[in-house]
């Protein structure tokens, strides 16, 4: 599968896989930003993407940023639909105790490109039963 990217900022970096077999491509910032503790910002990537028909891109946090700095993504996974042609932005939040500095070229997220299955919504008068039934959060004893 091929995904087309257009750079709209000189500091933009094409997403890439760090290792063979990785599910997510690293996505980099194209701008500086400072996130104070508890602050959230939209950080630009300088990229416009053209996804293949029948796919989506999901933006996900980087575990290293989350563990080491308390920086993660809001609205995760963030979905980018195949028809979107605006600049890709990543909503970062600093849940850590210290300010976090984003630099151009810094890996701030990972992107997974996946097929989309569309469903038809159908109204019915009842649904089939299961062993779980209506049991919600914690219903399995965990």
> 54-86: per-residue pLDDT in tens?
999 999 999 999 999 999 999 899 999 999 999
Structural domain count, the chain? 1
Residue 51 lies in a domain: yes
Residue pair 25/16 in contact by the 8 Å Cβ criterion: yes
Its pTM surpasses 0.95: no
Domain residues for 59?
4-115
* CA 68 – CA 70 distance, rounded (Å): 6
CA–CA gap between residue 57 and residue 30 (Å, rounded): 19
Average pLDDT of the residues of the chain: 95
> Nearest Cα to 83, choosing from 59, 57, 109?
57
Please report, for the domain that includes residue 86, its CATH number: 2.70.40.10
């Amino acid at each position: 599968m091929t995904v087309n990217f257009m750079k709209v900022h000189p500091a933009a970096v094409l997403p890439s896989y760090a290792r063979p077999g990785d599910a997510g491509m690293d996505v980099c910032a194209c701008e500086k930003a400072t996130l104070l503790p508890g602050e959230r910002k939209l950080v630009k990537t300088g990229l416009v993407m053209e996804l293949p028909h029948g796919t989506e891109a999901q933006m996900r946090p980087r575990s290293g940023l989350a563990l080491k700095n308390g920086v993660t993504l809001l609205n995760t996974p963030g979905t980018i639909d195949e028809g979107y042609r605006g600049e890709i932005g990543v909503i970062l939040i600093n849940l850590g105790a210290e300010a976090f500095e984003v630099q151009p070229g810094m890996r701030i997220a990972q992107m997974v490109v996946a097929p989309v299955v569309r469903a038809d919504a159908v109204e019915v008068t009842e649904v089939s039963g299961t062993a779980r039934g209506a049991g919600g959060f914690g219903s399995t004893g965990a």
